[in-house]
A and B are shown apart, each in its own frame.
Chain A
């Protein structure tokens, strides 16, 4: 049976892993290679590297780091952060990524999804969506897409954007809840179940994991295919095996 995936996410700035709270990096969380090795040994199903430095030097450091990790990690690697062109996607794939995660650039230029999927296959194109619940004066609730690291509202409906992204060729979606990110109060289950009920591709829950039950809920209530978390893993609040064992005791298939 296809297992539920548990994915540690490494937000990397200037060669270090940092911890984000509501989308602003604050604390140092360690050496990326050391953490990646630990997750590999611990049975992580995949790793995400997110380059949150915008500078040219930061980019170089990040690419070196990616190459080093790819040489010794034999699980899938997804890479995101600042990827804006098909050439950018090609660059990280060549450096050892298996998938590319695109976000703001896809909102600005949706055709990047189509082009990337045509060139590298849908399985390489992960559309990452930063969404924030927005309540209108008339009480209407919706999720709005934010870009630029969660700083800029776009007026775009996240659920509609998810569907468009899949239609354009994204092979996987990551839903980052800006409200939940770094709070450890749980994934946005309503957003998750809305999107998972609507698209054919796998959906990854991101932002807000704080208890073991939050992971279970993302699968059993949100119908996610995978869960992504950062700080709870980096700081050892939970280990990957601990999360998987918890999922297993709730009847969810995992790779132990």
Chain B
């Protein structure tokens, strides 16, 4: 396999990197694990995985000099998939462990679930598809996915929410904006539904799953 057309899985020391690599390979995607800006810039699509704490994630992205290239490829309309912490990191600020500035690509605050619930929200929960999107192709509405998190995204713009999930509160579990998609759950741990989601992302990258739903001002391009 050549790396020229490989999807870049961003390596910033996230603990679940290998699970993502296995799942992406199983879903038939050609991918490369990298923290090299040039490789990320050249890739036809980018995956930002993640697990752990917001502060560590941001610290690692900053110390590896990756925040700029992430913002750049998203603004250029390259297909981008954020997973779990890789979704939360895209928003303005996280309240995890105090208050930590995140990438601010999308407006919103990452908040802790209210007291009275078992925390973390750990296990299989349903995703309600609130807006159609090619990432859901072949995945029935209400499919269960695997979640592990104590914080959730409170998005400023409700239009970016394409899937939601209820745990005490109803929170965004899949968001999309332009060519950007992100999931709060772990597709790599979500059996057939998760593998299908990765396969769909691969098809979006290749441009054979129609156009990504766009917002008026966004440009969509498949590099």
Contact = CB atoms under 8 A, between A and B. Distances in A.
Given A74-B26, A98-B16, A121-B52, A2 B189 contact: no
B22 A122 contact: no
Given A74-B189, A255-B124, 7 more contacts: A40-B191, A74-B191, A96-B22, A121-B51, A123-B148, A171-B120, A225-B123
Given A2-B167, A255-B144, A74 B51 contact: no
Given A1-B166, A255-B144, A123 B18 contact: no
A34 B188 CA distance: 21
Contacts of A172: 122
12 contacts: A2-B121, A2-B125, A3-B124, A5-B123, A40-B191, A74-B194, A75-B189, A76-B189, A96-B19, A200-B118, A226-B123, A255-B144
Interface string B4-38: 00000000000110110011001000000000000
A2 B124 CA distance: 6
Interface of B: 15-16, 18-19, 22-23, 26, 51-53, 117-126, 144, 146-150, 166-167, 188-192, 194-195
Interface string A51-85: 00000000000000000001110111000000000
A11 interface: no
- Top 7 nearest A-B pairs by Cβ distance? A255-B144, A121-B52, A123-B148, A255-B124, A2-B125, A3-B124, A76-B189
Contacts of B191: 40, 43, 74-75
A201 B189 contact: no
Main secondary structure of the interface of A (DSSP, over half): loop
Nearest to B125: A2
Interface in A156-172: 171-172
Contacts, number: 85
B19 to A, nearest CB: 7
Interface in A115-140: 120-124
Contact of A1 (B126, B148, B190): B126
Contacts of A122: 120, 150
A75 B193 CA distance: 11
B52 to A, nearest CB: 4
Given A5-B123, A74-B26, A225-B118, A124 B15 contact: yes
Contacts of A2: 121, 123-125, 147, 167
A76 B23 CA distance: 12
B123 A201 contact: no
A101 B144 CA distance: 25
A93 B167 CA distance: 27
Given A121-B15, A123-B148, A255-B144, A200 B119 contact: yes
Contacts of B147: 2
A72 B146 contact: no
Nearest to B116: A200
Nearest to B189: A76
Nearest to B144: A255
